[in-house]
Amino acid sequence: MFSYFLRRPTAWLCAALTMTLAIQAQAGIVLNTTRVIYPATDKEVSLQVHNTGTSEILAQSWLEADNESPAASHPLFAITPALARMAGNAKQLIRIIYAGEGLPTDRESVLWLNVQEIPQTARENELQIAIRQRIKLFYRPQGLTEDPLQAAQTLQWQVRDGQLEVVNPGPYHVSMIKLSASHRGQIVFQEDSRMLAPKAHMQWPLKAISRQAPLDLAFISINDFGGQEPYRAKVTADRVIQANKADSRPD
């Protein structure tokens, strides 16, 4: 009986190691970009998918809007190939083609691009996980004269009725991470990430603050190239201000 209980943990450990090694051997798919920008002047855009594993896989690609189910494809775009067989360590070019109509012409639109690995049938005692990469695709119509790299700087910040308010007057989405506001050295607002749509506004409730002392606002904007740009501002009550790009060099 004693030797039986000794053998059971050993068997469990071996099974766990087998599954771990199987997961590591499977590796996964990697995209060569963190976001896709689609100018209307381009007939198509593309990105590269890399199968970093050693086994053959199928790579399935589709687009979806924020409010759609994960399996729903977006009819305004064609993706080719939508399903690609990829050998181990192979690379595949995915092309995205817009139908030419159906999206707003006065502002940027955003969709989600999904690329999912479909592994081969698992062998006995082998665990396989379908890995999906999900990134944003920004479609930009013709005629937008504003500079997208200045979109974060055009945001309008204000404290109103005990809330931090921001308005995006421009035609581009602004992606932000690590948003925070402090008042006299105390953090009164924090949020990990937020994307503000064109012409949209957002309000966040604040802890009790004095009207005399300004809020020290800080956030990081993600630009077209996936780069992180820090911004700072001092926000006061009933006055609209814009944040300025901060020095990102270490102290």
Kindly report, residue by residue over 181-221, the tens digit of the pLDDT: 999 889 999 999 999 999 999 999 987 776 677 899 999 99
d(CA 171, CA 150): 11
How many domains, the chain?
2
* 133 and 152 co-located in one domain: no
Average pLDDT value for residue range 51-65: 92
* 70 and 88 co-located in one domain: yes
Name the average pLDDT for the chain. Answer: 85
* 114 and 200 co-located in one domain: no
* 171 and 205 co-located in one domain: yes
Instruction: Give residue for tokens 């937008």.
Output: 144
Structure tokens at 116: 């999912």
In a domain, 59, yes or no: yes
In a domain, 174, yes or no: yes
Task: State which of 84, 110, 140 marks the end of a domain.
Answer: 140
* 177 and 134 co-located in one domain: no
* 178 and 159 co-located in one domain: yes
Q: Could you list the residue range(s) of the whole structural domain that residue 230 is in? A: 148-245
Q: Which pLDDT belongs to residue 28? A: 84
For the domain that residue 135 is a member of, what is the CATH number?
Answer: 2.60.40.10
Q: Which pLDDT belongs to residue 123? A: 63
Check pLDDT > 70 for residue 87: yes
With cut-offs at 50, 70 and 90, classify the pLDDT of residue 12. very low
pLDDT in tens, 93-118: 999 999 999 999 999 999 999 999 98
Task: State which of 110, 140, 170 marks the end of a domain.
Answer: 140
Q: Which pLDDT belongs to residue 130? A: 74
